Amino acid sequence: MSETLRERYERVLGRVQNAAARAGRNPDEIRLMAVTKTMEEPVIAEAIEAGVRLLGENKVQELTRKRGSLDLTGCEMHLIGHLQSNKTAKAVECADMIQSVDSIRIAREISKECIKQGREMPVLLEVNIGRDPAKFGFMPEETADVLAEIAAFPGVKVRGLMTVPPFLAAESETEKFFSQMFQLFIDIRGKKMDNICMHILSMGMSGDFELAIAQGSNLVRVGSAIFGERYYR
């Protein structure tokens, strides 16, 4: 008999806790995000019933629709996919955090919308740690300077960094990228920049989240390991 969603979620939670224990870390310091892209509302409601409290969406239109139709009491919903400037207003209105700030231009647009809507938006800066030309994000060496500039934008509250390593990298390469990302995170946190609270390092997905936890991640974004195989229309 196939596993239920609750069983898959609890199994992933167990893997997170075991990975933390192996790394000598406190499992309570690591947040598990359920990535809900392509998932319909009844399935997401089932996940919430199973205990999911942190949800991640790749597309603004999906986030907006699901925010409007689900009971998200006690839950957070983050935008984790690339944000286009024409979707910024809706993203600021509906997201609890934007994890994928990948340019100064989009950070400026978020700031403008925060001013218009009278709110603050916690964000993570996306770092292209593998220098993958197919991916968005800042180069590692420019991240600290970019952070200092973005931190001055009204309404934008930098809370950490996010990355997606190259998909086809060998495990040893992925481990190296995660290690480099953690070192960047620690280096920037040590600078104690104004208006920056560097406490979230979002890295690791279904295929590599245990490796990411071993290298210092404190927020892992897991989709298929919780929801099962995705079917794209």
Q: Which residue has the tokens 């406490």?
A: 199
Beta bridge partners of 102: none
Confidence of residue 1 (pLDDT cuts 50, 70, 90): low
pLDDT digits (tens, 9 = 90+) for 17-60: 999 999 999 999 999 999 999 999 999 999 999 999 999 999 99
Three-state secondary structure of 147-206: HHHHCCCCCEEEEEEEECCCCCCCHHHHHHHHHHHHHHHHHHHHHCCCCEEEEEEECCCC
**Is residue 27 a contact partner of residue 17, using CB atoms and an 8 Å limit?**
yes
Percent residues over pLDDT 70 in the chain: 98
pLDDT digits (tens, 9 = 90+) for 109-144: 999 999 999 999 999 999 999 999 889 999 999 999
144: three-class secondary structure by DSSP: helix
Say which CATH superfamily domain 5-227 falls into.
Alanine racemase (3.20.20.10)
Burial 75-97 (b: 16+ CB within 10 A, else e): bebbbbbbbeeebbbbbbbbbbb
Confidence of residue 229 (pLDDT cuts 50, 70, 90): confident
Q: Output the pLDDT for position 81.
A: 96
Question: Considering the entire predicted model, what is its pTM?
Answer: 0.95
